[in-house]
């Protein structure tokens, strides 16, 4: 709107006129009863009338609100030229602050049923750029907490300065739906002002106001994720803007966001609504932020740990929604009409968002550190508590149920390909209250998903016990990379670079580095291949798991190869196709592809030099070659690994199992690429599980066994993990089956 269309009287009469404190107080008394006269005086440029209106906007009758709102906007527009007058600037800053309060108060008084509401919204959007410009100007000219901006401002304190700016900016910006929010935050001045205010961190400030800024920042990040804003060429999204405003870069942003969440958690149930806003912002900076270094900075400051604590706290609350909140649209994005955003709805949004995003968050670290953090900090206790509260979610129950289903039925099972996740989840299950599982989980809509993930964990625990027994000599010992001497790991040195190669002496380490080729291998090793014993053991277990799963399905896969390629089972020393298994799904998807064909899942090709070496070793030892490709879950994508391994022929042992136990109860199978179940052969895990009753193996009563492997009430002398280990010991002591070593004689190279 051009300045020529504004009230010219205001421009002419804006100097001091008849302003006195006593006069303002008298006019305040007239605001409610003589509103028309006060508005008329203000429109003629009498600033005492403006102060009176702005300071008592809540008293203005509904029929005068639209006119008063327009008057405030006129004053803001025409004050621009007076701002250039250095002598008058301090006084006019005070006038503008008074008008800010008036705008915010009027908006608070207006609801969807008020007369003139649409007209007020239209005026607000039309003048929003000017309002945002003024707020940003105050932020840009901020001097210090003792003197918020230069000059005498009638005693305006830092707290008053901060709270009035926050209320005006967030109150006007967050009053509508998501479409409204998108329009107002599209203004760069509004965003930059919000960033400045969000960065103000002072314990003397009421937590309510930084929380309002956090809520605004979350909304901005959501819109940016959807590509709603346009930026200059040198700005790469909201994260780039935020980092520019921050004095301490991404580290400062991460520290401030997480520290506020921590402080909120320490306050217990006090100001829980504000803590929810802090949690949503931390989550949004990790998940919606388009700047991976910034997201990583938050994760390194243990964001997942504190988000998990927040989730558990929310899950334990009785979330009772008011009737007006029942129809709120809640989605995985957290999008909802802000006018109906009650504290309970906000908690629902956080619960849904957090559970559905953990799979994506896992892509930020090798070996699923953030899944493990969530498990270690009682996410399962929160899951169980959620099932006890599902009925109180009313119509949004479907959204929470969907999030629980996704976490239990997908996120957890697919990450159980990781050895470290198996260990963490096993510990978590041993801390679960079986009574709560019976009362809540098994009577909830996520009953089947709970049983599914328990059965998956049970299977992987059996595999873990089998792995530890099969590789017992490898787990406790190490082999020198130079002279091949074997001894206890504790007596060996370890390469400081890759953390995987061991040496019996300093001399062997130097020789292997200079002449044995380890210098090149170590320098070229990918980051996800490095690490300590946990990483190394995780790779060994994955190799072991892949082989066991492929062996279970080998007959079906060989039939598939015969049908697809017209070839019989792969020759012992010259494989013609590769077995693939995708742990990115549950149940896992298995398949085959012919060597030489383009692998549609990965551009990685078979290492022919390695394959030829394996062929020669197979010829000399009588072994067989199997080529495997494994896909692991990693959030939005996958990590492709190939295992090329030399194996001995286990056909006789497998036939022994089928012959000795023809009706063995076999665990659920994997599926092919079309989702069809594959035929499986019984294996050692099936036999170990025969020691337990059918209702335990099916998962129906499995919750009773985690703390006590004998399913007695309460903790017992032996856990389920210990019982499985004992059973595996018995199996290996049994001559016929005990000699079955599925691990093979050579560690595959991922």
* pLDDT (0 to 100) of residue 151: 58
pLDDT over threshold 90, residue 528: no
The helix/strand/coil state of 601 is: coil
Other beta carbons within 10 Å of 226: 13
* pLDDT (0 to 100) of residue 341: 43
Q: Could you report the per-residue pLDDT of 442-478, keeping only the tens digit for each?
A: 999 999 999 999 999 999 999 999 988 876 445 566 7
Element (H, E) at 540: helix 533-565
Is the backbone peptide bond immediately before 587 cis, with ω within 30 degrees of 0? yes
Closest CA to 91 of 14, 23, 197, 31: 14
End-to-end CA distance of the chain: 65
Chain-centroid distance, C-alpha 151: 46
Closest CA to 120 of 64, 80, 77: 64
Domain ranges of the chain: 319-445, 446-479+687-742, 480-522, 532-649
98: alpha, beta or left? (left if phi > 0; alpha if psi -120 to 50):
alpha
Tokens of 589: 């998807």
Please count the CA atoms within 13 angstroms of the CA of 233 that sit on its side-chain side.
0
Average pLDDT of the residues in 123-143? 91
Closest CA to 74 of 111, 126, 114: 126
Distance CA 735, CA 742 (A): 15
Distance CA 198, CA 238 (A): 14
| Residue 113 pLDDT grade (very low, low, confident, very high; cuts 50, 70, 90) | very low
Tokens of 721: 């993990």
Distance CA 315, CA 21 (A): 52
The secondary structure of 467-519, three-state, reads HHHHCHHHHHEEEECCCCCEEEHHHCEECCCCCCCEECCHHHHHHHHHCCCHH
Question: Looking up tokens 């020393």, which residue turns up?
Answer: 573
* pLDDT (0 to 100) of residue 300: 95
Please return the burial class of 179, using the count of CB atoms within 10 Å of its CB with bins 0-12, 13-18 and 19+.
exposed
Question: Looking up tokens 């494989």, which residue turns up?
Answer: 575
User: Higher model confidence: residue 299 or residue 529?
Assistant: 299
Q: At what angle do helices 303-315 and 343-361 cross, to 10 degrees?
A: 140
Are 287 and 349 a contacting pair, CB within 8 Å?
Answer: no
Tokens of 322: 């008011």
Distance CA 379, CA 382 (A): 5
* pLDDT (0 to 100) of residue 732: 75
Element (H, E) at 643: strand 637-647
| Residue 319 pLDDT grade (very low, low, confident, very high; cuts 50, 70, 90) | very low
Per-residue DSSP letters for 265-329?
HHTTTTTHHHHHHHHHHHHHHHHT-S-HHHHHHHHHTTHHHHHHHHHHHHHTS-----GGGTT--
Distance CA 709, CA 720 (A): 4
| Residue 741 pLDDT grade (very low, low, confident, very high; cuts 50, 70, 90) | very low
Kindly report the CA angle at 747 between 745 and 749, in degrees rounded to 5?
150
Closest CA to 344 of 364, 328, 333, 357: 328
Burial 329-341 (b: 16+ CB within 10 A, else e): ebeebbbbbbebe
DSSP 464: H
DSSP 734: S
Would you mind telling me the total number of residues written for the chain in this entry?
750
Average pLDDT of the residues in 417-438? 94
Distance CA 641, CA 635 (A): 16
Tokens of 284: 């949004």
pLDDT over threshold 80, residue 86: no
* pLDDT (0 to 100) of residue 84: 65
Worst-scoring range by mean pLDDT, 257-261, 299-303, 338-342?
A: 338-342
Listed ranges 191-205, 277-291, 313-327, 685-699; the one with the highest mean pLDDT: 277-291
| Residue 733 pLDDT grade (very low, low, confident, very high; cuts 50, 70, 90) | confident
Distance CA 460, CA 415 (A): 11
Are 502 and 481 a contacting pair, CB within 8 Å?
Answer: yes
What percentage of the chain exceeds 90 in pLDDT?
A: 38
Distance CA 625, CA 618 (A): 7
Burial 345-356 (b: 16+ CB within 10 A, else e): bbbbbbbbbbbb
Distance CA 282, CA 275 (A): 11
Closest CA to 269 of 205, 198, 214, 318: 318
Worst-scoring range by mean pLDDT, 279-293, 380-394, 513-527, 535-549?
A: 513-527
Other beta carbons within 10 Å of 710: 13
Average pLDDT of the residues in 596-603? 52
Distance CA 218, CA 280 (A): 7
Distance CA 178, CA 384 (A): 32
């Amino acid at each position: 709107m051009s300045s020529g269309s504004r009230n010219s009287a205001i421009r002419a009469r804006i100097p001091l006129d008849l302003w006195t404190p006593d006069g303002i107080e008298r006019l305040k008394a007239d605001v409610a009863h003589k509103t028309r006269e006060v508005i008329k005086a203000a429109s003629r440029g009498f600033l005492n009338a403006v102060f009176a209106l702005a300071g008592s906007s809540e008293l203005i009758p509904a029929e005068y609100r639209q006119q008063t709102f327009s008057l405030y906007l006129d004053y803001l527009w025409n004050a621009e030229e007076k701002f250039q007058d250095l002598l008058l600037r301090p006084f006019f800053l005070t006038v503008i602050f008074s008008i800010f309060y008036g705008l915010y108060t009027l908006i608070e008084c207006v609801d969807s049923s008020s007369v003139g509401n649409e007209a007020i919204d239209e005026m607000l959007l039309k003048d929003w750029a000017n309002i945002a410009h003024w707020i940003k100007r105050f932020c840009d000219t901020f001097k210090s907490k003792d003197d918020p901006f230069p000059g005498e401002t009638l005693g305006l304190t830092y707290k008053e300065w901060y709270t009035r700016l926050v209320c005006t900016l967030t109150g006007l910006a967050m009053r509508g739906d998501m479409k409204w929010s998108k329009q107002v935050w599209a203004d760069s001045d509004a965003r930059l002002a919000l960033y400045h205010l969000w960065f103000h961190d002072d314990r003397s400030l009421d937590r309510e106001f930084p929380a309002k800024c956090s809520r605004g920042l979350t909304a901005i990040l959501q819109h940016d994720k959807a590509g709603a804003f346009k930026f200059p060429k040198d700005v790469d999204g909201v994260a780039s803007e935020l980092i520019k405003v921050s004095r301490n870069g991404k580290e400062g942003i991460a520290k401030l966001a997480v520290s506020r969440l921590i402080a909120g958690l320490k306050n217990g149930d006090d100001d829980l609504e504000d803590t929810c806003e802090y949690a949503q912002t931390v989550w949004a900076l990790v998940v919606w932020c388009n700047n991976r270094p910034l997201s990583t900075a938050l994760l390194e400051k243990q964001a997942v740990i504190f988000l998990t604590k927040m989730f558990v706290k929310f899950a334990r609350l009785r979330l009772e929604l008011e009737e007006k909140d029942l129809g709120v649209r809640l989605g995985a994005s957290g999008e909802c009409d802000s006018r109906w955003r009650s504290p309970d709805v906000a908690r629902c949004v956080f619960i849904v968002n957090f559970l559905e995003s953990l799979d994506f968050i896992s892509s930020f670290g090798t070996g699923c550190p953030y899944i493990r953090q969530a498990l270690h900090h009682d996410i399962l206790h929160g899951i169980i508590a959620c099932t006890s509260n599902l009925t109180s979610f009313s119509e949004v129950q479907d959204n929470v149920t969907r999030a629980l289903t996704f976490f239990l039925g997908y996120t957890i099972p697919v990450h159980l390909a990781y050895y470290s996740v198996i260990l963490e989840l096993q510990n978590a299950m041993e801390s679960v209250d079986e009574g709560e599982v019976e009362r809540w989980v098994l009577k909830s809509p996520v009953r089947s998903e709970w049983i599914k993930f328990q059965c998956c964990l049970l299977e992987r625990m059996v595999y873990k016990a089998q792995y530890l027994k099969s590789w017992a000599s490898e787990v406790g010992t190490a082999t020198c990379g130079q002279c091949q001497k074997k001894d206890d790991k504790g007596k060996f040195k370890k390469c400081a670079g890759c953390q995987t190669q061991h040496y019996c002496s300093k001399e062997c380490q130097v020789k292997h580095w200079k002449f044995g080729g380890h210098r090149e291998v170590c320098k070229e090793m990918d980051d996800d291949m490095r690490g300590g014993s946990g990483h190394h053991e995780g790779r060994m277990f994955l190799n072991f798991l892949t082989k066991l799963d492929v062996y279970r399905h080998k007959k079906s896969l060989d039939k598939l190869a015969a049908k697809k390629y017209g070839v019989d089972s792969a020759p012992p020393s010259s494989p013609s196709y590769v077995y693939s298994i995708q742990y990115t799904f549950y149940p896992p998807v298995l398949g085959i592809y012919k060597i030489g064909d383009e692998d549609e899942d990965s551009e990685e090709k078979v290492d022919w030099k390695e394959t030829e070496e394996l062929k020669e070793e197979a010829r000399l030892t009588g072994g067989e070659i199997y080529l495997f490709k494994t896909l692991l879950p990693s959030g939005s994508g996958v990590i492709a690994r190939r295992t090329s391994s030399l194996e001995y022929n286990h056909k006789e042992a497998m036939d022994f199992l089928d012959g000795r136990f023809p009706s063995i109860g076999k665990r659920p199978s994997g599926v092919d690429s079309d989702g069809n179940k594959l035929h499986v052969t019984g294996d050692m895990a099936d036999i170990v599980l025969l020691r337990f009753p059918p209702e335990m193996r099916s998962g129906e009563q499995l919750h009773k066994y985690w703390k006590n492997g004998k399913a007695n009430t309460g903790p017992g002398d032996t856990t389920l993990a210990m019982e499985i280990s004992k059973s595996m010991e018995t199996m290996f002591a049994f001559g016929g089956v005990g000699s079955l070593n599925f691990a093979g004689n050579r560690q595959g190279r991922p």
